[in-house]
Amino acid sequence: MTKSLTVLISRVPRNYPSIFRMGFCCIVMVIIPGCAFQEKVLIPADHPQLPVPTENEQHLKREVARLEKLVAQKDQLIKNQKVRQIDQANVIRETNKEATRTQVKSHRLATKPGTASAIAELDASLQQLKQERNAPFDRILRMQAQHLFETATLLYSKDQYADAMGYVGQANNFVKSLQSNPASKKTSQSDHLQLDFHVPMRIRLNKVVKLYKASDSQSQVISSLKKDTVLTTVASQGTWLKVSIEKKQGWIQNTDFQLE
């Protein structure tokens, strides 16, 4: 600053009066510091003002955060439920496997001697029934028992003892029905089991009979069947036969018929 002032003063002509030169120096000394001061003034830049969130916006933000947290909890709950379902499916699968193993084991427990003894007892009962005079109705039951006996014998020869015992049990139901007191058959039909026939058999009616909806004379009558009508027998219950004809099924009482 002093050097610049000396240069300016030196340029003033020497023939100027001294008072003029002193005035010029004073003006220069006033102007130069002012200019220097103005150069150092910095104008602050304008910063953008951030908007102040309103109360409604703050409420919406809190609500969004709450819903996001709720969705996260629901997702975790669904994941936990899927894990439990997978665990339950595995338990059921293992239970089914165990049940299958138990069934196989029970079939193996049906031994050859026990099955042979049951078949022999059934054979003896059938031989005794053959020696008796049987009505057509009883002959149907005896023939059903005979078919079941033959099936059991075939399964026994193939070492399928459990299946053979199942057929022996069915045959014994027919034998018990044949051996029961005829009077007791007529008193209470509901006490007798329905015995499905292993082999359907055809019969021909010797007189007109009624076809009932159930094995009960008080049930609805489906139709009246003429003499010589051919029916297919499919089951029995007490003194009743379940028959089919022309896509209809019903029950007839133990009546006069002959085997085809």
Q: What is the mean pLDDT of residues 145-171?
A: 92
**Owner of token pair 């969130």:** 53
Q: What is the pLDDT of residues 119-147, one digit of tens each?
A: 999 999 999 888 887 788 888 999 999 99
Residue range 22-48: mean pLDDT, rounded:
55
Q: Which domains does the chain have, with CATH numbers?
A: 2-36 (no CATH), 110-179 (1.20.1270.90), 194-260 (2.30.30.40)
pLDDT tens per residue, range 213-242: 998 889 999 999 999 999 999 999 888 999
Q: Which phi and psi angles does 14 have, rounded to 5°? A: -75, -15
- Quote the strand ranges of the chain, DSSP E: 195-205, 209-212, 221-225, 230-237, 240-245, 248-253, 257-259
Contact partners, residue 126, CB within 8 Å, separation at least 6: 142, 145, 146, 149, 171, 175
Span 52-87, pLDDT tens digits = 778 888 888 888 888 888 888 888 889 888 888 888
More confident residue, 209 or 24: 209
Predicted confidence band of residue 20 (pLDDT cuts 50, 70, 90) = low
Lowest mean pLDDT segment, chosen from 41-55, 59-73, 106-120, 236-250: 41-55
Task: Give the pLDDT band (50/70/90) at residue 43.
Answer: low
Q: State the pLDDT at residue 4.
A: 55
The pLDDT assigned to 191 comes to 63
- The mean of the pLDDT values for the chain is 79
Beta carbons within 8 Å of 64's beta carbon, 6+ residues apart: none
184 pLDDT above the threshold of 60: no
**Model confidence band, residue 25 (pLDDT cutoffs 50, 70, 90):** low
pLDDT over 70 (residue 162): yes
Task: Give me the pLDDT at residue 9, please.
Answer: 54
Widest CA span of the chain, in angstroms?
Answer: 177
Mean pLDDT of 42-58: 68
pLDDT of residue 39: 47
Q: Please tell me the predicted confidence (pLDDT) of residue 188.
A: 46
Non-local (6+) Cβ contacts of 25 within 8 A are 5, 9
pLDDT digits (tens, 9 = 90+) for 195-220: 899 889 899 999 999 999 998 889 99
Which candidate, 147, 141, 254, 252, places its Cα nearest to that of 199? 147
The pLDDT of residue 26 is: 64
Q: What is the pLDDT of residue 95?
A: 75
Q: Are 145 and 171 in contact (CB under 8 A)?
A: yes
